[in-house]
Chains A and B, each alone.
Chain A
Amino acid sequence: MTTAAHQQPATDRNASTKGAISIRNVTKIYDPEGANVLAVDDCSLEIAPAEVCMIVGPSGCGKTTLLNAIAGFHSITSGQIDLDGEMLCGPDKPLADQGADRVVVFQNGALFPWKTLADNVAYGPIVQGLMNKADAREKAILMLSEAGLSGVADKYPGEVSSGMARRAEIVRALINDPKVLLLDEPYRAMDALTKSIMHESLLEVYDRTRVTIFFITHDLEEAIFLGDRVIVMTTRPARTKKIVEVKINRPRDYRLLSSEEFRILVQETKEAVHEEAVKAFEAGERELA
């Protein structure tokens, strides 16, 4: 709802000034064969520089639509999205340009299977013409080893575990020095243990780079553990239903998971999401009936 337009940025982040996303009254109507589907309805959201903004909501509610609009994969129907005060998409320009300032890490992983991890990471700087092949590779290998992946830099994605692949994918995004990291359920379908390693590694990356993170997930504990704020979306059409502020100091580690504070926040989020999930389920049953 429009009330969402007025929240303050979660915490005052030191130094970082880049990566502020302003989503104002964005609406998206898909029009497959004339049947209008309202995917996002008048959604507004201000994301501060260096914020970790977690988006949760029922399946198919339009979270990914929002991410696609920011990334420039899909157009919007009305409203406006700005990045650091500059319009990405809005009136007269429904589709944002794609650019390396907003790199996406996908649900199923999208490392190029035909390139080694080092060559995958080196890809961005090479295609943008920022570095020659040798320099880009050198930097890629350096960044991979910072992420604890030095031993597998010359392996192909098919040869490493899914956890390693996903870490490499985040390195591949970060080498472009993006303003925003767009993550679409990157740790879905991972076992709990791998997931917790992924979380720690992402937090470590975040503490180092202070990049703004737009993170879609279904996992509420993941949302509270990683986020500065958790945005609960309504069932389709997506609006912001509730915003949970996570005022827990960083750096965070896994002891947090058993704290009372954490439990309360998860519970609070769960109630909001559950309500929407029930609505989504009933709507689905109506459609089938």
Chain B
Amino acid sequence: MKKVWLAVGLLTGLFIVLAGCGGNQGSPTTDGDDLSGSIKIIGSNTVTPLSTVWAENFMNMHPKVSIGVSGPGSGAGIAALINGTTDICQASRTIKLKEIDEAKANGVESYEIKVASDALSVVVNPANPVSELTIAQLSAIYTGQITNWQEVGGNNAAIVVLSRDTNSGTHVFFKEHVVQMLGLASEDKNLEYGSKVLFLPSTEEGVSEVAKNPNAIFYPGLGYVTDEVKTLAIKKTADDAGVLPSVATALDGTYPIARPLLYYTNGTPDGVIKIFIDYCLSDEGQAQVTKVGYVPLK
């Protein structure tokens, strides 16, 4: 019986605490704000965390605005834009010419706004002598053709290949752009992650394993790189110079595994959508980009 009362007491305490939190959040943060409306954002899974943070902050500033974010994928987002079922399409790839034509046929003029960038870093243990790899070498490592560090100029040790699991949008991006070498002469759409690749449930786990394991390799977003791991310079082809991922190299396009994160609207945005996008592009909005782990525009 005593236990029951203890449980009841704990639950009551919890409810009081929760109610307290709710009360604080619910209180209006701006006075006399009459901006209202609703915005629908559909598209890339990768951009979703960023859009969600922006949407939450924006809704806190303007309590009468509601923003819905969903992330089925860039392709689905662009399809929704073409069909006119979304206000903003978030995408981690640029719109294809064919899709622009389809949009025009539907009376939709796609308008592209770059909101942030994403640079995928390739990291190894600091004890690993390898300091740069080409995309082709990375592909061979991730498909299981290269299994020993010796083959890429390292120690005689088996490579422990770490990847995110299929939940991750990055899993797909890395597969397309590195494993399948999208846009290179050696592009091959049939390549898949090898069967020895370790699929990890979180990016943090991959980074911590690389920090402990001298033979591991992993690809976290720039925001996840710590001092305990060594970032590799990436060469697009064997003839190019190796480039380290950074905000600067992601911005000028020299880092090969970087990609823009985009918003598409129907024509130039206006009304509440324009105010929202202006917020995303503002210094305050861009400050959130780094927190989520992506590369800001400036």
Bind each other: no
Chain A contact residues, CB within 8 Å of chain B = none
